[in-house]
Amino acid sequence: MYEHEVKGRNKGASSQDEVDIYFIYTKVGDLLSGMGRSISGFFRVLLRYKWVLLIFTLMGSGIGYLTYKSTKPYYTSSMTLVLAEIRNQFVENQLQRLSIMIQEDNYEAVAQDLDMSVEAAKQIKEMNFSNLDQELIAEDSVLTGSPFEIELSVYNSEYFNSLEPALANYLESNRYFSKQKLIRQREMESMISKLKEDITAMDSVKKAVVSPRGPVNGFVYGQPLDPADLFRESINMYQQQVELEGDLDQLDNIQIVNGFAPRLRPTGPNLLKYLVIGGAIAFFISIPVALGLDSRKKRKLA
């Protein structure tokens, strides 16, 4: 008897589960069916008022075209700078400062920092910059001496020529960079001066060896003297002097690798972009208008 009661309860529970699953399936089916009808009705309304959508879209594209014609054309180009042994973060902060002033149309400050007229500063539309080697180092590493790329947009392409040295001088004028440059310059000048003195002294020794005056025993200060060694040492010191003088000529913290490319045709604005954006905005505005017209029509018929 107990077994019959257990079987009865299990059978009842199974029937209840089947009812619950059927109920869920029914509700989900009704929901999907309702959504399908709503979507189908939505597209029927749009199709019914397609001329409204088309007129709005054409009007939006027309407004986009007028906006395009009223937008001042601009030219975009980029330059590459290579840094001395200084942290890229310092240069990035310096460029970020200038970029903010350009975004805020602070032309007086831009003109002062770039050492140009306010009228020339007003020709700058936008500036972007990036570390070219940023992705090549670990996150916890310090990037030093890596090249920078500066992208500049201006309203007059003729200003690229003057902005190229202006940006380099702007970075060079940083007080920290200038101090580091001065330190390296003094070190190199001292080393060059010392090499010149040593070369002059070496020349005197070579003359004494080549054209001796009085008895010559082949020794200087008790050491054997080889003229070939003197000439080799003299050449080595002269090479060091030439290399240091070359480094001194290229002592700038910032050097231009690739300058701004001249641009004959404007980079922007893009006519197609303005037409598409204007038309798309107007199209989405026209959808609630079409739905409102359909709803009003239904109320009149009811």
Considering the domain architecture, whether residues 61 and 156 belong to the same structural domain is answered as no
- pLDDT tens digits along 11-70: 555 555 555 676 666 766 666 666 777 787 788 888 888 999 999 999 999 999 999 999
Full domain range(s) for residue 63: 2-69+273-301
202 in a domain, yes or no? no
143 and 179 in a common domain: yes
The answer to the question of residue 46 being in a domain is yes
Asked whether residue 227 is assigned to any structural domain, the reply reads: no
254: number of Cβ within 10 Å? 22
Confidence bin at 188 (pLDDT 50/70/90): confident
Residue 63, pLDDT score: 95
Residues 146 and 284 in one domain: no
> Is residue 213 in a domain?
no
Does some domain include residue 230?
no
Average pLDDT over residues 71-80: 94
Residues 106 and 178 in one domain: yes
231 in any annotated domain: no
Categorize the per-residue pLDDT at 210 as very low, low, confident or very high, splitting at 50, 70 and 90. Answer: low
Residues 83 and 179 in one domain: yes
Helices 271-301 and 2-48: crossing angle in degrees, nearest 10, is: 110
Domain count, the chain: 2
pLDDT in the model for residue 25: 65
Q: What percent of the chain has pLDDT over 90?
A: 34
* Within a domain: 115: yes
**pLDDT at position 240:** 83
Tens of pLDDT, residue by residue over 196-209, are: 888 787 777 767 66
Lowest mean pLDDT among 133-142, 170-179, 257-266, 268-277: 133-142
Same-domain check for residues 114 and 260: yes
Label residues 29-67 b or e (16+ Cβ within 10 Å = b).
Answer: eeeeeeeeeeeeeeeebbeebeeebeebbeebbebbeee
Alpha-carbon gap, residue 224 to 50, rounded angstroms: 106
pLDDT value of residue 219 = 47
Residues 190 and 79 in one domain: yes
Both 155 and 258 in a single domain?
yes
User: Three-state SS string across 144-204, please?
Assistant: ECCCEEEEEEECCHHHHHHHHHHHHHHHHCCHHHHHHHHHHHHHHHHHHHHHHHHHHHHHH
Indicate if 9 and 97 belong to the same structural domain.
Answer: no
Residues 182 and 38 occupy one common structural domain: no
Residues in Cβ contact with 102 at an 8 Å cutoff, skipping those fewer than 6 apart:
110, 124, 125, 126, 127
Q: Tens digits of per-residue pLDDT, 112-141?
A: 999 999 999 999 999 999 887 766 565 555
- Identity of residue 59: M
The verdict on 186 and 288 lying in the same domain is no
Q: Is the domain of 7 the same as that of 47?
A: yes
Read off the CATH number of the domain in which 80 is found: 3.30.70
In a domain, 282, yes or no: yes
